[in-house]
Amino acid sequence: MAHDYASGEVESWPTGFRAYTAHGGIRDSGDDISVVVSDRPAVSAVMFTKSHFAGPAVVLSRKHAAGRRLRAVVTLAQNANVATGRAGHDNAAEVTARVARLAGVAADEVLIGSTGVIGRPLPMDAIRAHFEASTGDFTAAPLDVARAMMTTDTRPKTAERQVGAARITGVAKGVGMLEPDMATMLAYVFTDAAVAPDDLDRALRKAVEPSFNSLSVDTDTSTSDTVAVLANGAAGPVDQDAFAAALADLCLDLCLQLARDGEGATKLLTVTVAGAADDAQAKRVAKSVVNSPLVKTAVHGADPNWGRVAMALGKNTDESGIDPDRIAVRFGDVEVYPSEPGGDTLDRLTELMRRDEVSIGIDLGYGGGEATVYGCDLSAGYVRINADYTS
């Protein structure tokens, strides 16, 4: 099945939200600061990276998010402000305070996100000059915000869903250093539905597990991962189940846009593992396949070298129950193991692997656990992008 991940270029916000983007001098050109704000109080739910090296933006945002009353989100692009010492924390706090003033909200209602190079101080002189001069023209569309959030992304990522009278709108960025652990790089969701904070939190956690937490571009977990949802209630209450389902669907949509735009990626790679001891084991095994450099390069080259999937399954030496005699592997609808594929089947396999979405299905054959994870191929482009990123 092909995924309908490109749900369009979203041009407007749910009722009560507006946004601002600008060039603040963090990168050479193009907008690098974006702010989304609700014109009325909102409730919020947020999940952050579990990295030990979480940056000042995450540390400060964790405090602000605890109140579940976030109203604004600011993003700095091109500099993660991570591993920047005491000054890094001061700078994150100063940017947050300036944004609060510009947006007309309290500082502790602001979530701050920052991604890009690690270990370099923010260019605070330029940022300060920008905020001193800014008149705060909040007329940017979701697509503008998504674009201002990009670092090595090649495409802005936006998505929207309708639930009753309410809308859910999401923006995201992230193409490398991307194996989210409880959250993705940066994904922000805004809705005018009226949702209680507990319900919002529950819906977010449920939406993140099969989407952002099932995504890996390169096994490298960012120090800045954040996914947040703000609900301002302007459209009134909605059916809670319908809302949770729409939120989950939107998160998967954004997640697939991230996978597809993985650094250097030319293909979306989907790996489903069934028949595992439990869902958690299925996910660990599926991740070992979607992250295998040899599987990723074979997918890149449309090389029907399915034996590499066997290798990737075999290397899960910490997992019990994996037994070649019980396993079945297919690419799309083509079975490759244990039925040894002959000439015709290899031709069909090659044809399948030339498509821009490759799906690998694995049945471990002994339990009821199942999981699907998302990734991309590994290309020379990934190396090119990352061998020369700071310079």
Give contact residues for its own copies (rule: CB under 8 A).
49-54, 80, 82-85, 117-121, 176-177, 179, 181, 218-223, 291-294, 297-298, 300-301, 303-308, 310-317, 319, 322-324, 336-338, 340, 378-380, 382-384, 386-391
Q: Which residue has the tokens 């030339």?
A: 354
Q: Between 165 and 383, whose beta carbon lies closer to its own copies?
A: 383
Token digits for 223?
Answer: 């120090």
Return the exposure string of 249-274: e unless at least 16 CB atoms fall within 10 Å of the residue's CB, then b: ebbbbbbbbbbbbbbbbebbbbbbbb
Q: Between 40 and 315, whose beta carbon lies closer to its own copies?
A: 315
Q: Is 391 annotated as a binding residue?
A: yes
Annotated catalytic, 96?
A: no
| CA torsion, ordered 54, 60, 61, 65, to nearest 10 deg | 120
Task: Quote the least distance from Cβ 4 to its own copies, whole Å.
Answer: 28
Q: Is 173 annotated as a binding residue?
A: yes
Q: Is 179 annotated as a binding residue?
A: no
Task: Quote the least distance from Cβ 324 to its own copies, whole Å.
Answer: 5
Task: Quote the least distance from Cβ 106 to its own copies, whole Å.
Answer: 29
Q: Between 252 and 268, whose beta carbon lies closer to its own copies?
A: 268
Task: Quote the least distance from Cβ 168 to its own copies, whole Å.
Answer: 29
Gap between the Cα atoms of 142 and 146, Å rounded = 6
Hey, which bits of the chain come out as E strands? 17-22, 33-38, 43-48, 72-79, 110-117, 157-163, 166-173, 186-194, 226-237, 268-276, 328-331, 334-337, 357-363, 369-376
Q: Is 263 annotated as a binding residue?
A: yes
181 with 216: CB under 8 angstroms?
no
Gap between the Cα atoms of 326 and 288, Å rounded = 18
The catalytically annotated residue of 184, 221, 223, 270 is 184
Q: Between 101 and 384, whose beta carbon lies closer to its own copies?
A: 384
The residues assigned a catalytic role are: 184
Binding residues for substrate: 151, 173, 184, 263, 386, 391
